[in-house]
Structure 1
Amino acid sequence: MPQYQLVLASTSPFRKSLLEKLTLPFSCAKPDCDETPLMNETPQQLVMRLAQTKAQSCQQPTGCLVIGSDQVCVINGQIIGKPLTRENAIKQLSEQSGQSITFYTGLALHNTTTGETDVCLDTFVVHFKTLSQQAIEHYVDKEQPFYCAGSFKSEGLGIALFERLEGKDPNTLIGLPLIDLIHLLEKQGVEVLTTDNLV
């Protein structure tokens, strides 16, 4: 059984903390990736392409399994970015009030020994409650979700914004589909619960 090093192609503290749930040894690397959408590219195609590009861009030595992930948030067919400011966060949440928004998360696992890359897509739908302006402003001031697509942190107080959540893996919403990742690792011979081939 080959020995692998696991590498997360991300500098996101959210993805790092998610991967830590699996209690596997891993390191982080900064991906080199232009995230500009291509002409006529769907959100699904975009996140799968970027996840693959991130995983393959880290220039790791042989013997590594490199994880790449990318996510977009879509409402009424439009990709929503990170708000970055209080004003934009309030605007995003006002537009999402009473609506359903979809998160598409691409996941890739690149084997630097074989050159093989597996890519998959997970979808998660968030159904918002009808929110008052006061509630929106209070939430934004309390949690300041300026670097979160959709202007909320579902792992925190953001849960109070929702009517219901729809998807197979709550980790997907935060940015790393662990159920899908476990499946991709198993395809490479890494059994998460019993593994002894990660170094």
Structure 2
Amino acid sequence: MPRTLILASTSRYRRELLDRLRLPYEVHAPGVDETPLAGETPLALSQRLALAKARAVADRFPEAIVIGSDQVADLNGEPLGKPGDHARATLQLRRMRGQTLVFQTAVAVVCAATGFSAHEVAPVRVTFRPISDDAIERYLRAEEPYDCAGSAKSEGLGIALLEAIDSDDPTALVGLPLIRTCRMLRAAGVDLL
């Protein structure tokens, strides 16, 4: 009998992406503190949180295969998370205009019963156009991306803010790198097809 698959996330974006695999799965909130540690790089933060989320849920459901993921926008070494509100989103987008950021999207797959644990990062280089304050305001009012790292949804109107996206895993920028996720699920024993 196949093991239960669990997504350790409250993100609707990650659920929408995982739905593409057409596998039955459950969703459980990991309840992990996402505060960066002193001096922690965006890359290290995304890796630590993805693994912590997967392990937290695997501790509660040891027989399951658990997916954890996290994304941190890296602006010249500074982590940018979810803005949470309009004012912070405005400040983020003003700082990011004309800049190239790396969105560090980490994913981890854990099964406590088998001892399986793997994690990978799918870095995505994103170049923002030099957008005006007025364009930022119009965008934020139209899409309200306050729950997205970096304050822009590339899968929606946010694409109009961008000059370029460079990635080898096309779903990584949305929040769950499915190529890497599939690779780890296969390694954990999940039959994807």
- Confirm or deny a common fold (TM above 0.5): yes
Aligned to 1:91: 91
Give the Cα separation in 2 of the matches to 1:127 and 1:109. Answer: 30
Unpaired segments of 5 or more residues in structure 1? Answer: 195-199
Give the Cα separation in 2 of the matches to 1:179 and 1:155. Answer: 17
Aligned to 2:31: 32
Deviates more, 1:79-88 or 1:153-162: 79-88
Aligned to 1:177: 177
Give the alignment of 1:182-197 within 5 angstroms.
182-192=182-192, 194=193
Give the Cα separation in 2 of the matches to 1:157 and 1:138. Answer: 11
How many residue pairs get matched?
Answer: 192
Q: TM-score when scaled to structure 2?
A: 0.93
Q: Considering only aligned residues, what root-mean-square deviation do their CA atoms show, in Å?
A: 1.4
* 1:89 Cα offset (Å): 1.6
Paired residue type of 2:140: V
Q: TM-score when scaled to structure 1?
A: 0.91
Unpaired segments of 5 or more residues in structure 2? Answer: none
Give the Cα separation in 1 of the matches to 2:80 and 2:38. Answer: 17
SS of aligned partner of 1:170:
coil
Give the alignment of 1:10-89 within 5 angstroms.
10-58=9-57, 59-89=59-89
SS of aligned partner of 2:44:
helix
Structure 1 residues 74-95: Cα deviation after superposition (integer angstroms, max 9, x where no partner) = 1122111222222222221111
Change (3 A) 1:57 1:160: same
Contact 2:90 / 2:136 at 8 angstroms: preserved in 1?
A: yes
Give the alignment of 1:92-111 within 5 angstroms.
92-111=92-111
Contact 1:8 / 1:27 at 8 angstroms: preserved in 2?
A: yes
Give the Cα separation in 1 of the matches to 2:26 and 2:81. Answer: 27
Structure 1 residues 131-184: Cα deviation after superposition (integer angstroms, max 9, x where no partner) = 122211111111111121111111110011111100112211111110000000
Deviates more, 1:19-28 or 1:56-65: 56-65
Aligned to 1:197: none
Change (3 A) 1:3 1:89: same
SS of aligned partner of 2:110:
strand
Structure 1 residues 90-147: Cα deviation after superposition (integer angstroms, max 9, x where no partner) = 2211111111111101111001321221111110011111112221111111111112
Contact 1:7 / 1:26 at 8 angstroms: preserved in 2?
A: yes
- Of structures 1 and 2, the larger Rg is shown by 1
Give the Cα separation in 1 of the matches to 2:185 and 2:20. Answer: 15
Contact 1:73 / 1:81 at 8 angstroms: preserved in 2?
A: yes
- Identical-pair percentage: 43
